[in-house]
Structure formats: structure tokens, C-alpha cells
Amino acid sequence: MKKVFLSFCVLLLFVLLTSNAFGEDVFDPVKVIYLKNGEPIRCQIGVLEGTRAVCRNFGGSMSVPLRMIDLEKTFPKFKRREGETIILFHPGQVYRDENIILSNLRMVREDERGPTYDHPGSRSSSDIQPSHYVILFDVMNRGDSCEVSAIVALRDEQGNIIDQVDVLSESRVPAGDTAVLKKRLEFTKGNLENQIGSLKIGSVERKNVVAKSETESSRSTAKLTPAQLREGKIKTLTEIFLRERPQPEQQ
């Protein structure tokens, strides 16, 4: 019994530390998981794990598919965006090295809609377009400014790889900054929601790295006014002229 209790304490501590490290507590562990039909499931620790919500108790654990969970009621800080459905979520840290930290890996379904009309009910069925899937994760850059690229493996319930996608930042992530990387999936192998079990980060690369000294120099130059830049150029040309001017011969 002591070992079970200790395991729960270690798990809770790990989840809390991971959440606090990123300042992201939207999906912190809960005591009650609410189903969409209103039924509550009481837990010692309730967490999201991929496509399921897992309820852990001292006597054992049970899991419920994410599509059956009322996420907004279970996690009050979570605000669902219109037209977006969370299919899979790995909260907290999913990758870490000396320069890059990746967290909150998720897959969502976005419904594509046609133009918005002023009057409700004026949208015809032809205005509703097929939905698509998007992979997103947060990146924290602790190194020099760079682009970030990560391979994300889509796996089934048995852990077998279904597909792999390369997610690349649209621009450099500045040193000490955070960004959200996203990639729209081009999946043509049937219904993805019935196949997906988890996501896993593979190789992570830093590209087009800009050293801090170069970045600071670029920023300091960008802050100068046109008049200051012109004055600096004149000063430089004057110094070059004085250095290269012929010296008079001594008598």
C-alpha cells in the first residue's frame, strides 16, 4: 500500500512541476472528470493522455475516450475555439535538450467554413467544407535565435507508426522566446480519428542559427534613426580618409 501511495505522490509531483515550468495549468490534474452526458467520474488524479482521459485511484485506474469528455467543464480554464475539436493532447514537456524545450503536443480537427453571413441560418450546406487535422506544439528556445524543425510520429493504439510529419517554424524563434509550431496534415489513409493513439517527437533540429552577438548588433542598428545612420557613415568615411591621406614630406 505504501508503494502505491508513493507512486501516486511521485506522479503528482512530476505533473505539477512540469506544468509550473511552462506556466501552463489549463490541463493540470483534476479530481473529477465530466462526461458529455453530465456524469462525473471522481479520481485521485485525472489527467489527459493522448486520445484518452485517465482516472487514477488507489484501487486502480480507468480511461475514457477524449471525445466523450466535456473538456470545458472538466478543465474550467480551457476555452475551446469555435470550429476546433481536440482529438489528442500530451500536456507538459515532450522533448528537452540544452537549447530547445517542446511541450503541449496536440492534434486538433478544424472545420473549414465558408463566408459568414449576417443572419443566422442563411448558410447553405454547400458553404460547409470538409474538416482537416492540425498538429501543434509549443517551443521554448533557450539557445541562439534559430528556426526549429521537429519530426512528429503518428502512432496507433499499439504504438506502431502510421505516418511521420516534419513540422518547421515559419521563422526564427528569438533567443529566450517561445512560439507555437503547427502543421496541417495531409492524411489520405482513412479516418485518422479511428486510427490515432498517440504522437511522439522524433528528431529535433536547429536551423539558420544566428549568434546572440549578431542578433544584438542587428537590433542596435535597427534602433538608429536615418540621421544617426548617415552621421555614422560620414564619421567612418572621414576616419578612412584621414588614415589613407598622404603624409607631407619632412624637410
Kindly report, residue by residue over 76-131, the tens digit of the pLDDT: 888 877 888 899 999 989 999 999 999 999 999 887 653 333 334 444 444 444 57
Q: What is the mean pLDDT of residues 9-29?
A: 51
pTM, entire model: 0.66
One-character DSSP codes across the chain: -HHHHHHHHHHHHHHHHHHHHHT--TT--EEEEEBTTS-EEEEEEEEEEBTEEEEEETTEEEEEEGGGB-HHHHSTT--PPTTEEEEEEEEEEEEE-SSEEEEEEEEEEE--B-PPPSSTT---GGGBPPPEEEEEEEEEE-SSEEEEEEEEEEE-TTS-EEEEEEEE-SS-B-TT-EEEEEEE----SS-GGGT--EEEEEEEEEEEEE-HHHHHHHHHHHHS-HHHHHHHHHHHHHHHHHHHSPPPPP-
Residue 198 — pLDDT band, cuts 50, 70, 90? very high
The answer to whether residue 182 scores a pLDDT higher than 70 is yes
